[in-house]
Amino acid sequence: MRILILSDLHANLEALSAISESWDELWILGDLVNYGPDPVEVVDFARRHATRIVRGNHDHALGFGVDPACSAAFREMAAAMQSYTESLLDGERKAFLRNLPLVAECEADGKRFFLCHATPSDPLYRYLAAGAAEWSREATAVDADVILTGHTHIPFIDECAGKTIANPGSVGQPKHGEPRASYAVWEEGRVWLKSVPYEFAATAKKILSLPLDRGIARQLVRVLEQGAPG
């Protein structure tokens, strides 16, 4: 079984299109939308191809019309792009985001998997970095061999409480300092972290052409290029 694992696509079609891996199943760990210029295309890709998807905080925000409760440095950008994204998504696509499950559990290759966007105890909002002491309690509470999580936009693989915790990083808004689409692949009983370059300039050009405050648009581009707004 070859499983392509994506998270935090954030409406970045160029980054998504750069991933050329084959797969038997496609699993997405949330945040299809916001920050990027192509939410319709990314949502439609997920609807056509994903085997399993869980809801991220930005999917939740667009589906229910609420605050995504992201970190302080990103709030202004998130609010501006949420307003733009809401204008593009029709009722059917918003309902799709709204109805995504918060978590998913399944088996593959004789392993039990638990999928969430943030953490098992707080699937939408909690940020836990690799190696955080709180992962021990999170892992112990889950009946699974492998926990797949996103939200931080930083890829990692860790072992905790006898379980593998893997974060594929972000496809559409990586925060490790360079514009590469990050993702993971499960194959032959283990998970592999991967990344590929994408047409960053094309995404940046689209963002700068949007009907946004120029300062916010430039911040969004800096995040794509450098992993932080300033």
Q: What is the per-residue pLDDT for 89?
A: 98
The whole-number average pLDDT for the span 91-114 is 98
The residue among 223, 220, 224 whose CA lies nearest residue 208 is 220
pLDDT, tens digit, for every residue of 212-224?
Answer: 999 999 999 999 9
- Paired sense of beta strands 156-160 and 146-148, if any: unpaired
Q: What is the per-residue pLDDT for 154?
A: 96
State the Rg of the chain over Cα: 16
CB 172 within 8 Å of CB 59: no
Q: State how far the Cα of 130 lies from the Cα of 155, in Å rounded to an integer.
A: 8
pLDDT, tens digit, for every residue of 105-153?
Answer: 999 999 999 999 999 999 999 999 999 999 999 999 999 999 999 999 9
Q: What is the per-residue pLDDT for 203?
A: 98
pTM, two decimal places: 0.97
The whole-number average pLDDT for the span 162-182 is 96
Q: Residue 17 sits in which domain range?
A: 3-226
Q: What is the per-residue pLDDT for 2?
A: 98
**Percent above pLDDT 90 for the chain:** 96
Quote the number of domains for the chain: 1
Q: How many CA atoms lie within 13 A of 196 on its CB side?
A: 14
Q: What is the per-residue pLDDT for 174?
A: 95
How far from each other are the two terminal CA atoms of the chain, in whole angstroms? 41
Q: What is the CATH number of the domain that holds 20?
A: 3.60.21.10
